[in-house]
Amino acid sequence: MANSLLTDASRRLDRALQYVSISEDTAERLKSPKASLKVSIPVRMDDGSLRVFEGYRVHFDDTRGPTKGGIRFHPQVNLDEVQSLAFWMTFKCAALNLPFGGAKGGVTLNPKELSKAELERLSRGYIDAIANFIGPDTDIPAPDVYTNPMIMGWMMDQYSIIRQQRSPAVITGKPVALGGSLGRSTATGTGAFYVLEAMMAHLLGQPSDQANKPAQTVAVQGFGNAGSVVARLLFDAGYAVVAVSDSHGGIYTPQGLDIPSIQQFKADTRAVQAVYCDGTVCSLVDHKVITNEELLQLEVDILIPAALENQITAANADAIRARYIFEVANGPISADADDILDAKGITVFPDILVNAGGVTVSYFEWVQNRSGLYWTLEEVNQRLKQQMVTAAETIWQIAQTHQTSMRTAAYVQALTSLGAAMDARGTRADYVGEKG
Ligand code: NAD
């Protein structure tokens, strides 16, 4: 029988445990979620019929603070997936030293099949069902795959109606008009860029050392919210972004693509095309059409998977030719591909570090909601940079000290932080005589 996603996710934990002195009890405790809620959500459809949807909310661990994690609306949502995503959130928040535990939620459906009014009734119904399981001091949801600021706004409103008080801090990723933070929508790509720049300085030397060297080449799989932002920042910083893709396939040109033109064209047409735009007039430039599989196998300096999980597995890891991989997507490399990439000398920078900019600015949003004082975009990005670079440098040092991968080092950092919090909380079980 295939391993559950959660079992697969916790394999990364096992590797890190040999470098951390935490008790066996703590390590064992961290392999199972603290609480899992399964709910039924009845929704009146536009045609008058009633449909009942299945939803979940999982608290994985709350030792370091209220739990934090997104809500996914997707046909494949199931309890195992939500539990493993909650596991990742626990370690991401701990690795970044954010004062949160980890959680995740989801509803099993294809949101594209619902009208806007049905989607709003479903979103409010989900909050009705989980209202006693979330709260600004207990568990704070956010957007994830196929949920967005509009849905977060409805959910915040429904929670406020139930509690009979305006409660913006119960959910993050809201529209700015309802207390959302400036910089949240670009936070994941921007955070990934800060990590990449800090790490490339270690790998290649400071920018001044690189002045006379050719630009580093980059391929980005997935030109969505996260991927397009990191591609643009890299283009602006002088990297040669030679390939990008979406679910329909990719475009490649060895001299580098004009990313601002591609962004502009995509905003107008939804399509990713190799174009150069002069004002509002965009024309096609010389390029090669490639598949997503070919994009992953390009000989580039930096590969950025920013689309889906399990894109690089034991089946194709041997064909990867990039020197460095920065995981912007969650779980784009399966656990069994780690060793193959390692043996090929490819350095992987893990998702729980690289894509943590989103949850970091969600944390800033929660802080701003609770204080009532709102920050400028410059303040948000300055704090984001500090948080991301500090975490990246700490994890880099751990990797050097133990001569281990950046992924294992990130889990070492997270486990150290979690273990210290668990120890500091005392051993209630010992006091009450529950432990043998
Ligand atoms: P998005 O929906 O905005 O973009 C996803 C992109 O991937 C789209 O361009 C889509 O066309 C493309 N895509 C879909 N299937 C593909 C395929 N088979 N091959 C290539 N491209 C494909 O989503 P996003 O918010 O940018 O999220 C992308 C990844 O980043 C996800 O794994 C997500 O969990 C992760 N992530 C996002 C955030 C965030 O704040 N947006 C935070 C942390 C992690």
Strand residue runs (E) in 334-419: 347-349
pLDDT (0 to 100) of residue 1: 39
DSSP β-bridge partners for residue 303: 219, 325
pTM listed for this prediction: 0.93
Judge contact between 154 and 176, C-beta under 8 A.
no
Q: Cα torsion at 370, 374, 376, 378 (round to 10°)?
A: -20
Which pLDDT belongs to residue 23?
A: 81
User: Given this model, what pLDDT does residue 436 score?
Assistant: 44
d(CA 144, ligand 1 centre) in Å = 10
> Ligand 1, residues 85, 91, 246: which to mutate, most atoms within 8 A of Cβ?
246
The model's pLDDT over 179-222, given as tens digits with 9 standing for 90+, comes to 999 999 999 999 999 999 999 999 987 666 666 678 999 999 99
**What DSSP letter does each residue of 35-91 carry, written as one string?**
EEEEEEEEEE-TTS-EEEEEEEEEEEE-TTSSEEEEEEEETT--HHHHHHHHHHHHH
Does residue 266 carry a catalytic annotation? no
How many of the other CB atoms lie within 10 Å of CB of 382?
12
| Domains of the chain, start order | 35-171 (3.40.50.10860), 187-354 (3.40.50.720)
Note whether 78 and 95 are within 8 A (CB).
no
Q: Are 306 and 272 in contact (CB under 8 A)?
A: no
At residue 38, what is the residue type? Answer: K
Q: Tokens 């913006």 appear where? A: 168
Kindly report, residue by residue over 16-74, the tens digit of the pLDDT. 999 998 888 788 888 899 999 999 999 999 999 999 999 999 999 999 999 999 999 99
Pocket test for ligand 1, best of 84, 96, 185, 247 (most atoms within 8 A of CB): 247
Q: 146 C-alpha vs ligand 1 centroid, how far in Å?
A: 10
pLDDT profile of the chain (436 residues), mean per 10: 69 87 83 96 98 98 96 94 93 97 97 96 98 98 93 98 97 97 96 98 78 86 95 97 96 97 94 92 93 98 93 96 96 92 97 97 98 98 98 98 96 93 72 52
